Amino acid sequence: MQVVQQPYPNWHPSPPVDQVGVEERVARLAARSIKKESKVAALKLALSMIDLTTLEGSDSPGKVRQLCYKAKHLHDALPDLPHVAAVCVYPTLVRVAREELAGSGIKVAAVATAFPSGQADRETKIRDTRYAIDEGAEEIDMVISRGAFLRGEYGYVYDEIAEIKSLCGDAVHLKVILETGELGTLDRVRQASDLALAAGADFIKTSTGKIQPAATLPVTLVMLEAIRDFHLRTGQKRGMKPAGGIKTAKTAIQYLVMVNETLGPEWLTPSLFRIGASTLANDILMQLAKETTGVYQCADYFSQA
């Protein structure tokens, strides 16, 4: 009898993904229409789940301060608005964001582990993560080593995630970026999701935003189903973060519908669902203004920072 070698601890074979079935389910869910009070509630909920992000080579302390100011003052535009969940920056700018957001309730997130490529040795990734945490990051968004994953070195990828999670401990949430645009198939997306969850990821995240395609509804559905099955098997709740290319309020609501239908209303909270975006907040504000006043406002009335 052949013995199947387990590629990493707590390994469970990932089920095959029915791509046609996934696409059909996504099409049905995306066709849902939400109107009036329910739409306003969904827009406010989506706003509260945004990780407002700037991850450019040209980022500066001034740009991060402006982004943090925007994060703290979104509610100035309309009454009764929640603040965003977090501001996400490079490790070198965490201290600036932490100082600007002090007392606001908005988390400071930092990318780490040689973001966005992941092409660095283990010690460099550990130093990168430790530096971000020491600077005040409350959340770490790490990238997996896609080359190792695609070569079938699943134990290596598992150990790397587990080690970064050990640095984070319970106090710092770890979001593990799969970079699904480089994985090639939905079967690989499911396998990478299962691996990251087993290794201790608090969230699994689609993309860095630097590779196309970034977040898509079919990929997100596969990842949500991995979270559902992990919860059914272990009783543990883990979070989900689609990121990259989510620019409109309509698209954000489609993601919320998918979360509700796949995982249930308990996951409709910033503690278990996030949206990584740089421009989505403005479109949500415009849609909320339209629901309040009956007319669209010019985009120039909203900060582009």
Going by C-alpha positions, the residue among 143, 124, 201 that lies closest to residue 168 is: 201
Q: Where residue 158 falls among pLDDT bands split at 50, 70, 90?
A: very high
Average pLDDT over residues 260-288: 96
C-alpha span between 177 and 139 (Å, rounded): 13
Of residues 4 and 69, more confidently modeled: 69
Give the pLDDT confidence of 13-23 residue by residue, as tens digits: 999 999 999 99
Show me where the domains of the chain are located: 19-301
Average pLDDT over residues 251-280: 97
Average pLDDT over residues 194-202: 98
Catalytic machinery residues: 141, 205, 241
Average pLDDT over residues 222-234: 98
The runs of H, that is alpha helices, within 102-153 are 122-135, 146-150
Going by C-alpha positions, the residue among 137, 52, 132, 44 that lies closest to residue 86 is: 52
Q: Looking at residue 80, what is its pLDDT?
A: 87
C-alpha span between 243 and 184 (Å, rounded): 17
Q: Looking at residue 299, what is its pLDDT?
A: 61
C-alpha span between 233 and 5 (Å, rounded): 21
Share of the chain above pLDDT 70, in %: 95
Side chain identity at 250, as an amino acid letter?
K
pTM of the prediction? 0.95
What would be the CATH architecture of the domain defined by 19-301?
A: Alpha-Beta Barrel (3.20)
